[in-house]
Amino acid sequence: MKDKMYAVVKEKPKHGAVYKEVEVPEIGPEQILIKVESTSICGTDHHIYKWNKWAQNNIKPPQIMGHEVAGEVVKVGSRVKKVDIGDFVSSETHIPCGHCFQCQTGQEHICSNMRILGVHQDGVFAEYAVLEDVDVWKTDPSIPKDFASIQEPLGNAIDTILPGNVAGKDVLITGAGPVGLISVAVAKTFGAANILVSEPNEYRRELSKKMGADHVVNPIENNLLDVVFDIFGKKGVDFTAEMSGNPTAIKNGIKAVTAGGIVSLLGLPDNEVSLDLTNDIIFKNIKVIGVTGRKMFSTWHIASNLLKGNRIDLSPVITHKFDLKDFEKGMKLMEQGNCGKIILKP
C-alpha cells in the first residue's frame, strides 16, 4: 500500500480548502482504514469551506474535510470485530463517547460528549480514511457506491419522516435541500398520500417533483398557508417535516398542521424562533419532535434495507459527480443551491 494520498484539507482558518498530498493515516486498535470509493458533500462541509461562524468555533485546521462515505476496508485495528478487510462499509458520523448517560441508555446518537467525523477529527475527502469501530456500518455490496455514501443523510430523512406515521397522510415538507429532497422519497416510500413541498429555489422545486412530490410551492411568491388550505382543505396537513431551518417556514409549517397532527423539526435556524405556543401547539394538541442525527444503528438498518431492495429511488437527488480534485466545483454549486446531492470520487 502506498504511504501518500491526496485529500481535501481545510488548511487555514479562512475561506477555502486545498487538494494536496498527505500521509496515509495510521490506525489505532479500535479504528479501520478504508479505501474511499464514494463521498458526498453535506451542508456542513460547505460551512467549513466557507468558514462561517459555526466552523470558526468548531474546526481546528489543518484537517481533512468530509464525513459522508462508502468504501472498502483495507486495514483493521487489533480490537476491531465488526468488519474484515475487503468488506464494503459506510459510517455513522457521530462518534459517541460510550460512557455518558445517553450512551449508557442506548441513545449514542445524542451522546453528550459527541465528536463528529470531519469536524472534530480528520474526515473522508481523501483516497483513504480512518473510521471508528463504533461507527462503521457494513453495507451490502449490491448497493451502488454513491447511494451507500448518502445513507447518512438518508438516515436524517428517515428519522424525520417516520415519526410522522405518513402512510395515507397529507404531508408538507418545507425546504428541498438535499435532505428535504431525500425526505420526499422517504415519505413516498412509506406511503404518504399527498406530498406538498415548499421551496424558494426553482431547480429544487423541479427536483422535488422527480423525487415524488405531488405539489410544489414557492413560499416567497405565495402564502404557504393559503396554498396548504387550498390543496388540503381548512384542516391543513397531517404532518410537517421542516427541513429548511428558515424561521418563517418553521412557523408556517407548524400552523399548517391539523389539530392533533405531528411536526418534525430537522432544519437548524441560526437564531431563536418565536412561536405562538398557545394557539399553534398547545390548543392544537400537536406533537413537535426535534430530530438529530440517526439512531445507531436501527436507522441505518432501515436505510440499507430501503436501498438494498430498491424500495427507494434516490437517483434524481444525485445531480452532480466530480473527481475529488474538482471539489471546488461542488462547493460553488452548493453556494448557488442549483444542485441536489454532489458526489466526489477520489
Asked if 293 touches Zn ion (CB under 5 A), the answer is no
CB of 73 to ligand NAD, least distance (A): 26
Whole-angstrom distance, CA of residue 107 vs CA of residue 126: 30
**Position 103 contacts Zn ion (CB under 5 A):** yes
In the annotation, is 240 catalytic? no
180 binds, among ligand NAD, Zn ion, none (CB under 5 to 8 A by kind): ligand NAD
Query: How many Å apart are CA 208 and CA 186, to the nearest integer?
Result: 12
Rule CB under 5 A: say whether 134 interacts with Zn ion: no
Position 192: which residue type?
Answer: A
- Tell me the three cell numbers of residue 38: 464514494
Helix H or strand E encompassing 242: strand 237-242
**47 in catalytic set:** yes
Cα atoms in the Cβ-side hemisphere of radius 13 Å centred on 171: 34
Minimum Å distance from CB 242 to ligand NAD? 8
Among candidate residues 201, 232, 233, 193, the one with its CA nearest the CA of residue 217? 201
Grid cell of 216 as nine digits = 410544489
337 binds, among Zn ion, ligand NAD, none (CB under 5 to 8 A by kind): ligand NAD
Contacts of 104 (CB under 8 A, 6+ apart): none
Which one among 97, 225, 231, 289 touches Zn ion, defined by CB under 5 A? Answer: 97
Interatomic CA distance for residues 189 and 207, integer angstroms: 17
Told to check if 111 binds Zn ion by CB under 5 A, we report yes
Closer to ligand NAD by Cβ: residue 33 or 291: 291
- The least distance separating Zn ion from the CB of residue 114, rounded to whole angstroms, comes to 7
Residue 73 interacting partner from ligand NAD, Zn ion, none (CB closer than 5 to 8 Å by kind): none
- Give the whole-angstrom CA distance, residue 216 versus residue 155: 23
Among 22, 100, 273, 289, binds Zn ion (CB under 5 A): 100
Positions annotated as catalytic residues are 44, 47
Q: Where do contacts with ligand NAD occur on this chain (CB under 6 A)? A: 43, 156, 174-180, 198-201, 204, 219, 243-246, 248-249, 266-268, 291-293, 337
